Structure 1
Amino acid sequence: MAYLLVVISVTFTTLGQIFQKLAATRIKTRMAAGKPLYLAVITPHFFLGILTLGLGAFTWLLVLSRLELSLAYPLMSLGYVLVTLFSKYLFKETVPPHRWAGIATILFGIMLISRS
C-alpha cells in the first residue's frame, strides 16, 4: 500500500508540474492581449496545478506515515522521469542524450533503493 501511495503522490505532483507549465505558456499570450499579469496567470490550468500539487502533498504525508524518509524521498525522483517524458511528448521539448543518461541513472538508483 505504501508504494501505491508513492505512485499516487508522484502522479499528482507530476500532473501539477504539467498544469503549471500549461498555465505558464498562456501567460505571454494573455499579456499580449492586454491582460495584467495577475489576471494572465489565472487559468483553469493554474487552479488544476494548485489542486494536484495539493493532493500530491497530502498523499506524500500518507507516504511518510508508512515509510522511512530515506526510502520514500528517493522514490519521489520518479517525478523527474515522468516530467521529462511529458516534456518530450506533450510539449515537444528536445531531450538531449545526457538527460536520458540522467534518467537511466535515476531509474537505476530507484531500483537499488527499493530493494533495501
Structure 2
Amino acid sequence: MIWVAIAISVCLGAAGQIFMKIAMRDAGPFPGLIGVVDIARYFWGAILSWPMLAAIVSYGISYVVWLGVLSRADLTLARPMVSLGYIMVILYGFYAGERMGWERVLGIVLIMIGLFLVVRSGARV
C-alpha cells in the first residue's frame, strides 16, 4: 500500500510541474522588469489559468499523500523515489519536443540505476 501512496505522490508532483510549465508557456516570455503593473498582470494571468490551478491542486494532493508516506516509510527509501518524478518530467519534455541531448538520456539512466539499487537494498517499508 505504501508503494501506491509513493507512486501517487510522485506522479501528482510531476503532473504539477508539467501543468506549471504549460501555464508559463501559455503566458509567454516574462516581460522583464518594465513595471510593477505589467509584472503583476503577467503573473496574475498565469496564476488564474487552468493549468496553474491544476498544478496547485496536484501539488496540494501530492503533499498530503506524501505526509502519509513519511509517517510509515523510511525516509532513506521514500525520498529517492521522488526521482521518478524527474524521469516523468523529462519524458514529458521529450513528448513536448524539447531538446534531448545524450547528457539528459545518461542522467535518466543513472537515476534509474540509483533507484534500482535503493529498492534492491532490502529496506523494508
- Residue deviations 1:43-78, cap 9 Å, x none? 011100000011111111111111111111011100
Q: 2:76 aligned with 1:70, yes or no?
A: yes
Q: 2:111 aligned with 1:106, yes or no?
A: yes
Distance in 2 of aligned mates of 1:96 and 1:38: 31
- Look up the equivalent residue of 1:76 and give its one-letter code: V
Match of 2:17?
17
Aligned residues: 112
TM-superposed deviation, 1:4? 1.1
- Look up the equivalent residue of 1:110 and give its one-letter code: L
Match of 1:27?
27
Q: Which has the larger radius of gyration?
A: 2
- Look up the equivalent residue of 2:79 and give its one-letter code: Y
Distance in 1 of aligned mates of 2:68 and 2:99: 35
Please report the RMSD computed on the Cα atoms of aligned residues, expressed in angstroms.
1.7
Distance in 2 of aligned mates of 1:74 and 1:39: 34
Match of 1:52?
58
**Identity between Structure 1 and Structure 2 (%):** 34
Distance in 2 of aligned mates of 1:57 and 1:39: 24
Q: Which consecutive unaligned segments of at least 5 residues does structure 2 have?
A: 32-37
- Look up the equivalent residue of 1:4 and give its one-letter code: V
TM-superposed deviation, 1:15? 0.5
TM-superposed deviation, 1:86? 0.6
Report the TM-score when normalising by structure 1: 0.90
